[in-house]
Chains A and B, each alone.
Chain A
Amino acid sequence: MSEQHHDHGHGGHEHSEPGEMDLRVRALESVLTRKGYIDPAALDALIDTYQTRIGPRNGARVVARAWVDQEFHDWLLRDATAAIASLGYTGRQGEHMVAVENTAEQHHMVVCTLCSCYPWPVLGLPPTWYKSAPYRSRAVKDPRGVLADFGTVLPESTRIRVWDSTAEVRYLVIPQRPEGTEGMSEEELAALVTRDSMIGTRRVEAPATPGSAA
């Protein structure tokens, strides 16, 4: 099947025929509406949900809580589905959650080599790169190369652990809490946590110190 895998997988083609895809989607929506299969208002509600309500800020709150609350931290590692649900994040593509914690010794990364499996309730919709052929093909064989694409360099002594989501279990990486954040509130900590750090392609950076050039 390798002849199918020439290098067009990562995007470029989406803009090649302006208007063609718009017309095709509009035609389909029109037919489905006329046939009564869909409620157009439900489409708007779905889009609004994933553009404004469900995104990586949910996961950031989970991580920040785990950083400040040892009991929640332990619960999250023991039964992530229940611990995450206690903060109100449940449902589609997050029915069965497992949390894995980064340390100086071990760094976790998540991929779906077969498609795009991703924990929607805590991270929202996956970014394009997560679904792309370069990420899916390389994450399980050359994760340090993938990390380098994100500007992330880990010591060779840090073991890399890649989780390939091949069933309906979804993984959330708890990034390492950066040094220098001891006095920060849960809310301030959540603001530091990025989507990519919860997939495992970046680390969480400490905030710039007040008065520094940054």
Chain B
Amino acid sequence: MSYVTHADLGGQPGFGPVTPEPEGELFHAAWEPRALALTLAMGATGSWNIDASRAVRETLPDYGNLSYYQIWLGALEQLMLQRGQVFPDELASGEMRHPAAPVARVLQAANVQSVLAKGSPTERPEPGPARFAVGEPVRMRPGKADHHTRLPGYVQGKRGVIEHVHGAHVFADANAQGQGEQPQWLYTVVFDEAELWGEGAPRQNLAVSVDAWESYLEPAA
């Protein structure tokens, strides 16, 4: 097991209370909107996909000590360093010292609205019949994956019920590793609290769901 994610926080203890904020408060420093915009603009060059960028963010060694936009900026730098688009001496100096690597496209100001409105849908043609149907009991694959995954630790090995079938979507695990989209059926799987947190946990009258690709699931029966 060499892949370590620091982002899998569901059910982890010890983080204290949530601090609400007023509705208009989105940024806490002038550099944050710039970091956001740089990330979106570089994402629009098509140099990587969203799953690959999530993989870099969640494996930053100091993830737990970074603020949200520090994570985004750190990951952006890593993605570009990996691809030879920038170099450490350039990040340190702010000066261009190596030739540019070609990018597929550059987001122009005039196109920002249309590019955002278009988005990047992940639904794909169905690869075959869905293996599971609404109402069917399933068990989540046990054990951690040795790569980026969207199967959170707190549901691994747990039994739930299929609640929605969302069609086929780009499979995050494969896409993050540069193995192509490999679309799979995507399901909403709902769990009751005793299954997730044990019979002894305080009762909240709670049900929790995750969205899970078909290869995360096996029949529960």
Closest Cβ neighbor of A23 among chain B residues: B94
A129 near B33 with CB under 8 A, answer no
A11 close to B67 (CB less than 8 A): yes
Task: Return the chain A residue nearest B66 by Cβ.
Answer: A13
A68 at the interface (CB under 8 A from B): no
Instruction: Assess whether A45 is in contact with B122, with CB atoms less than 8 Å apart.
Output: no
Contacts of B73 in A (CB 8 A): 21, 24-25, 28
Within 8 A of B (CB), among A44-89: 44-47, 49-51, 54, 56
| Closest A residue by C-beta to B28 | A14
Question: Closest CB of chain B to A91's CB: distance in Å?
Answer: 4
A176 adjacent to chain B (CB < 8 Å): no
Tell me the nearest residue of chain A to B61, going by C-beta.
Answer: A4
Q: Do B154 and A113 have beta carbons less than 8 Å apart?
A: yes
Are A43 and B34 closer than 8 Å at their CB atoms?
yes
Chain B contributes a number of interface residues (CB within 8 A of A) equal to 101
Chain A: minimal CB distance from B9 (Å)? 4
- Please give, as numbers and ranges, the residues of chain B lying within 8 Å of A94 by CB-CB distance: 119
One of A5, A15, A44 near B9 (C-beta < 8 A): A5
A150–B23 CA distance with the chains assembled, in angstroms: 13
Inter-subunit contact A42/B109 (CB<8 Å):
yes
Interface size class of A (residues with CB under 8 A): 35 or more
Of A15, A54, A162, chain B has the most CB atoms within 10 Å of the CB of A162
Q: Which residue of A lies closest to B68 (CB)?
A: A131
Closest chain A residue, CB of each to CB of B35:
A25
Residues of A within 8 A of B (CB): 1-2, 4-11, 13-15, 21-32, 34-39, 41-47, 49-51, 54, 56, 90-96, 98, 111, 113-116, 121, 124-125, 127-129, 131-144, 146, 149-150, 156-169, 194-196, 201
A-B contact pairs, 19 of them (CB 8 A): A5-B15, A11-B19, A14-B28, A21-B35, A28-B77, A29-B38, A38-B38, A44-B109, A46-B116, A90-B119, A93-B119, A95-B123, A114-B8, A125-B26, A125-B36, A127-B25, A129-B20, A169-B211, A201-B20
Known A-B contacts: A2-B14, A38-B41, A164-B10. Give 11 more (CB < 8 A): A4-B64, A39-B107, A42-B112, A46-B36, A90-B118, A96-B122, A111-B10, A129-B21, A134-B16, A141-B154, A144-B204
